[in-house]
Amino acid sequence: MKKLRKLFVFALSLALLLPGIALNGAETQAASKTHKVKVSLSGTKTVRVKSGKRNVKKKTVMVKKGDKIYFSHTKNKKIRSVVYKSMNKKYVTITKKGKAAAKKAGTARIKITIKRNKGKALSTWVKIKVKGHTKPEDNTQNPSPAPDSDKPSNTPTEQPSDTPDVPTVPPTDKPLNNGKSLVLYFSRAGENYNVGVVEKGSTQLVAEMIAEETGADLFKLETVNAYPEDYMECVTVTREEKNENARPELKSVPANLAAYKNIYLSYPIWHADMPMALYTFLENNDLSGKTVLPFCTHAGSGLAGTVETIRTKCPKATVTEGFAIAGTTVQSSAESTKSSLSAWLAEVKPQEDESGFNLEKGTVVLNNGIEMPILGIGTYRLSDAQAENSVYWALRDGYRLIDTARIYGNEAGVGRGIKRAIGEGFVTREEIFVTTKMWTSDYGNGAAAIDASLSRLGLDYIDLMILHHSQPENDVKAYKAMEKAVKQGKLKFIGLSNYYTPKDFDRLVNAVTVVPALLQNETHPYHQSSKMKEHLKQYGTVMESWFPLGGRGNTQKLFNDKTIKKIAKAHNKTYAQVILRWHLQAGNIAIPGSSNEDHIKENFEIFDFELTKDEMKQMGNLDKDERFADY
């Protein structure tokens, strides 16, 4: 009988091999391959996984698209049955009995549940890495992303030195409130240790309390594959992730994460560490320049060294001392939790800088999370030819922000200046931020006005388009046309100009969908727009100054001011340079205009000095709420 069985296996193997052999005897690559994976129970609790005769390294099986993977388990009196489930069906599908098929390039986790005759079921995971149809020697087609730092340390949060897979995290499309601070939390409901079954996890409750007290936005980090509600099952899954140094895939992250200055990072302590999903987040997102304020819930371990881990993962962020509170306290006493939180919040110091300007880079992060240059060249009152030269000189000298408008009559010249600078290699289109404005007489047909500006500028898209003036009868219609153009890719950002009261600004904002990224108003030392800037904070809208030096006919009033003269002398700078530097430190984007090549260069040389706090205070005292223009 055994001989017959061997003969049958040999015949079957030969039949499977024949399709892969060409008529001339040369072997050709088979369309697919079959992999056999065997699961066994060692002792009473240890699950082992083998592929062929070898243990599966890190429980990862490497396959190609189209391959078959057959799971089976060794016979054992202790095992009643084994059930298989794919947690990423778009990559790998599997039947309950263990027949799997590789559908698409990517990584899938297969959950293997061993149901024993006695005792609770045991679970483990096997990762199936599916590669596309690439040549074995070609490693450039499927590069494996790795975290910035993965060296082991002597802290309790030590991670294996192997490079884990870091899944790409898609941004969420859901807009937030564009606030200065964000509470970003990871929490799990269901059965919790020493607490029982809860609808909201302890970490979520704390996160909501912090958001309420600080006015911060709130965002929940969630993994693509939800964790089991059963406590012991969750322990098994999370321990496997910890041991394998896994990086669970996240559903999404805030689309405008870059716009926040402060990130309250909230998480539970699992296995003396952060959940591995936090590693996924920290390794996929740049928190440079931000203040990170960690807090956790735990069952007796405190912060467990996680603050140092966060500092390692975010070397260019300021990471404050953390806050830890027992989950049982959170669930049983809201008053005690709030009291402890308030004490911690009083100690830590989130960023209070309202401008969000990065004076080293010369940029500001807009309320959609995208950077914009903070010093540019204005083209008001320049002829078409003058605009071309001014823009060309500005881009050559380091400017990256260009401001024009349909009513200026020089969009074509601006476009030529941009083309010249790009053609001579001074800059690329992607590095330039182009702003133009829609004139009031065009509000009735905004779509046509946008296309006309694109044509005159000779560009495929405009970085920022602004409504030039408030016009209640039809500015909402024009703004909605700009919103539509953003979706079409014709515009990247939209804003307003010459809206001087909170009531007028809110009138339009409340009637549209996209919050203006920027408001361009007359702003200078004698008219500092303080009330409007304070009002704009709630929207994350930035102030941009036209007439930053007072405008023609009024510039000398500012240049003759004793305070400005004194500060200029102290820094060995021109009056214009002091005023422009004040604008940037005060949180105003500035776009001084000039047709003079030397002045254009001079106006940009303001990043090598800084006004002191006292000098900024002196400049602030110059505010007379005095406008020089009447439009």
Give catalytic residue positions: 408
Cβ-based neighbours of 215, under 8 Å, separated by 6 or more: 179, 181
Q: CA of 99: how far to CAs of 16, 36, 83, 116, 288, in Å? A: 18, 10, 11, 21, 46
CA 630/CA 469 separation, integer angstroms: 12
CA 190/CA 57 separation, integer angstroms: 32
Cβ-based neighbours of 237, under 8 Å, separated by 6 or more: 123, 125, 227, 228
Secondary structure letter of residue 145 according to DSSP: -
Per the CB < 8 A criterion, the answer to whether 268 and 202 are in contact is yes
Could you identify the residue written with the tokens 């805030």?
254
Per the CB < 8 A criterion, the answer to whether 534 and 543 are in contact is no
CA 31/CA 33 separation, integer angstroms: 7
Q: Token pair for residue 258?
A: 């870059």
Could you identify the residue written with the tokens 């904070």?
537
CA 305/CA 155 separation, integer angstroms: 7
* Cβ neighbour number for residue 379 with a 10 Å cutoff: 31
Query: H-helix or E-strand containing 531?
Result: helix 530-536
Strand partners, 357: 364
Q: In terms of residues, how long is the chain?
A: 631
Q: Token pair for residue 316?
A: 């260019």
CA 151/CA 43 separation, integer angstroms: 33
- Give which of 518, 474, 477 is closest to 499, Cα–Cα: 518
CA 421/CA 428 separation, integer angstroms: 8
CA 80/CA 119 separation, integer angstroms: 11
The string over 15-32, giving b where at least 16 C-beta atoms fall within 10 Å of a residue's C-beta and e elsewhere, is eeeeeeeeeeeeeeeeee
CA 155/CA 311 separation, integer angstroms: 13
Secondary structure letter of residue 102 according to DSSP: E
User: Residue 179: exposed, middle, or buried by beta-carbon count in 10 A (0-12, 13-18, 19+)?
Assistant: buried
Per the CB < 8 A criterion, the answer to whether 395 and 432 are in contact is yes
Q: CA of 103: how far to CAs of 250, 356, 382, 388, in Å? A: 21, 46, 61, 55
- Give which of 266, 272, 267 is closest to 243, Cα–Cα: 272
